[in-house]
Amino acid sequence: MDVLSILIDWSPYIIAGIAATLGLVLIALGIGVLLGLPMALGQVYGSRPVRWVIGIYVWFFRGLPILVLLFLFWFGIFPGLGLGDVPAFVVGAVVLGLRGAAYQSQIFRGAIQSISEGQMIAARSLGMSRSTAIRSVILPQAMRIALPGWSNEYPNMLTDSAVCYAIGVAELLTVTSRIVSQTYVTMPIFLAAAVIFIILNYGGLKLLHGLERRIEIPGFGSGAV
Amino acid sequence: MDRNDIVLRVEDIHKSFGDKEVLRGISFEVRRGETKVFIGPSGTGKSTLLRCINQLTIPDRGSVWLDGEEVTNSGARINYFRQKIGMVFQNYYLFDHLTAFKNVELALLRVRGMSKAEACEKALTELRQVGLEDWADHYPAELSGGQAQRVSIARALAMDPDVILFDEPTSALDPELTREVLEVMKRLAQQGMTMLVVTHEMGFARSVATEILFMENGVVAEQGTPDRLMHDPRFTRMKNFIGQFDSYWGD
């Protein structure tokens, strides 16, 4: 049986695997932004207790191997909260997202802190409240500065998502190994999975670079020559 | 002169940074339409004084009054007073991600709550006022220092302030760009804008100032009209200081 016909026969599963992988990545990146950005703001502008709590969070999620986090949530935290019925896909996406938020918060924090103090001073001198200044002046600049570094989270997340294999999420790696165990064709199938990962990686980065160019401002941030 | 004509009153402002007492009791009054120019050696608290007026720096002691209302200790109302007290900075501090036009428009939309159409018209009017309507769509990085500073003046003007604080507005500019900025400021003074200007431009001080205040070691050491300064023999310290800039004083 040649590899191509195996791939064609299994294509519905492969496509479902790709969809699950992309779903994990997109949901996790979304959670990462939704949590990471407020965390970054809290670390820069928050009170001491706020900064302390965020610091603990970041320390925890960056301090543990992703597989350990995954098992902790899958076997411990979700069942412990009476959420034992939650599908593995959801647990995987949440863990990747919570962990991503810890990393992303530091990308956003660095970007916010890189904005010169004068921007806030000028905004306040015009009568803007601090929150208006953050929304209208600081964040639009910080997000542009953060984007190139943040883009790096996409390939990280994509490759990390494969660990969800360990809790049985039917993502690309899980599907691949199922095909291998059914067909006894090993290397060619894993290579095919590798190629798919690389294509997803390349395509996503291409989109992100396009976005970087679209929001580029002459002489500002990463656009500066 | 009528008391009601006093726009800004500064009373006994003190400010220390650590052990260093930068301002040691500054008081003065500004009438509508006046241009007060602050000169003096570096590090004598001139910029700190301006920042104490709009509370970007909180003074340790003393009070600031705008049109009879207290600006100091005004809590959240400080954002209202800051609309009425424009500020122009040495390094322009234009919003780097916005075009010249949007720099002027932003606070009209976000602070004054104008409609898009109103804000647009107002922003263009102010850019025209500083001679930059053709540069409306350029970003700060595409402007010369002089143009950037004029945009920042337009941005302050757009709020229709009662007074504008200029914190060494030309110190980052070469002589030619300095001239274009000073011309705009001179025109504003002639139009009756109330201005407080910290500067080392003696020519500007002499030709535009209603009064010059000479600051030294955190106090106003001497003050008077440019004319009196030139001829009154009592103003020795200011004259000694100005002597260092003699070529500029001539204008």
CB A71 within 8 A of CB A136: no
User: Tell me, what amino acid is at A154?
Assistant: Y
d(CA B206, CA A195): 75
- What pLDDT does B1 receive? 47
The pair of structure tokens assigned to A49 is 């207790």
* pLDDT, mean over chain B: 92
What single-letter amino acid sits at B227?
A: D
- The pLDDT-based confidence of B251 (bands split at 50, 70, 90) is very low
State the DSSP code for A135: I
CA B95 to chain centre: 19
Instruction: Supply the pTM of this predicted model.
Output: 0.89
pLDDT band of residue B3 (cuts 50, 70, 90) is: low
Per-residue burial over A1-25, b = 16 or more CB atoms within 10 Å of its CB, e = otherwise: eeeeebbeebeebbeebbebbbbbb
Site from A116, A117, A125, A220 to mutate, B interface, most B CB atoms within 10 angstroms: A125
The alpha-carbon gap from B39 to the nearest alpha carbon of chain A, in Å, equals: 22
The predicted pLDDT at position B233 comes to 75
Rounded alpha-carbon distances, angstroms, from residue A178 to A54, A181, A190: 40, 5, 11
* The pLDDT value given to residue A224: 45
Would an 8 Å CB–CB cutoff place A140 in contact with chain B? yes
Q: What is the pLDDT of residue B116?
A: 96
Q: Give this complex's ipTM.
A: 0.92
Give residue B236's pLDDT: 79
Q: How far apart are CA A86 and CA A109, in angstroms?
A: 32
pLDDT at B250: 47
- The answer on pLDDT for B2 being more than 70 is no
Q: What is the mean pLDDT of residues B23-47?
A: 94
Torsion, Cα of A220, A207, A61, A177 (10° steps): -160
> Is residue A136 a contact partner of residue A123, using CB atoms and an 8 Å limit?
yes
- Is B79 in contact with A125 (Cβ distance < 8 A)? no
> Which residues have CB under 8 Å from A204's CB, separation 6+?
A25, A154, A155, A158
| CA atoms within a 13 Å half-sphere pointing along the CA-CB vector of A128 | 24
CA A119 to CA A117: how far, in whole Å? 5
Q: What pLDDT sits at residue A141? A: 96
Q: Are the beta carbons of A217 and B97 separated by less than 8 Å?
A: yes
Instruction: Evaluate whether B37 touches B208 at the Cβ level (below 8 Å).
Output: yes
pLDDT of B109-124, one tens digit each?
A: 999 999 999 999 999 9
Please indicate if any CB of chain B lies within 8 Å of the CB of A131.
no
Q: What is the DSSP string of B99-140?
A: -HHHHHHHHHHHTS---HHHHHHHHHHHHHHTT-GGGTT--G
pLDDT in tens, A18-53: 999 999 999 999 999 999 999 999 999 999 999 999
Q: Nearest Cβ partner of A141 from B83, B97, B141?
A: B97
| Chain Cα centroid distance, residue B100 | 20
Mean pLDDT is lowest, of A155-169, B162-176, B196-210, B225-239, for B225-239
Put simply, whether A117 touches B (Cβ < 8 Å) is no
Phi/psi at B36 (5° precision): -100, 130
Q: What is the pLDDT along chain A (225 residues), one digit of tens a residue?
A: 688 889 898 999 999 999 999 999 999 999 999 999 999 999 999 999 999 999 999 999 999 999 999 999 999 999 999 998 999 999 999 999 999 999 999 999 999 999 999 999 999 999 999 999 999 999 999 999 999 999 999 999 999 999 999 999 999 999 999 999 999 989 999 999 999 999 999 999 999 999 999 999 988 865 444
Using a 10 angstrom Cβ sphere, with 0-12 exposed, 13-18 middle and 19 or more buried, the burial of residue B243 is: exposed
Q: What local confidence, expressed as pLDDT, does residue A225 receive?
A: 42
Residues in chain B: 251
* Cβ pair B136, B124 in contact under 8 A: yes
Q: Give the residue from chain A lying closest to B111, CA to CA.
A: A128
First to last CA, chain A: 54
pLDDT mean over B61-90: 95
Q: Which of A126, A141, A144 sits opposite B107 (nearest CB)?
A: A126
Q: What is the pLDDT of residue B246?
A: 55
Task: Classify domain A22-170 by CATH number.
Answer: 1.10.3720.10
Band (pLDDT 50/70/90 cuts) for residue B228 is confident
How many degrees, rounded to 5, is the angle at CA A132 between CA A126 and CA A134?
A: 105
Burial class (CB in 10 A: 0-12, 13-18, 19+), A66: middle
Residue B86: what pLDDT? 97
Residues of A whose CB is below 8 A from B157: none
- Quote the CA–CA distance of B151 and B195 in Å, as a whole number: 17
Asked if B132 contacts B151 with a C-beta cutoff of 8 angstroms, the reply is yes
Kindly state the percentage of chain B with pLDDT values over 70. Answer: 95
pLDDT class of B239 with cuts at 50, 70, 90: confident
If one counts every other C-beta atom within 10 angstroms of the C-beta of residue B113, the result is 9
Inspect the interface and report whether the beta carbons of B106 and A220 lie closer than 8 Å. Answer: no
pLDDT at position B229: 80
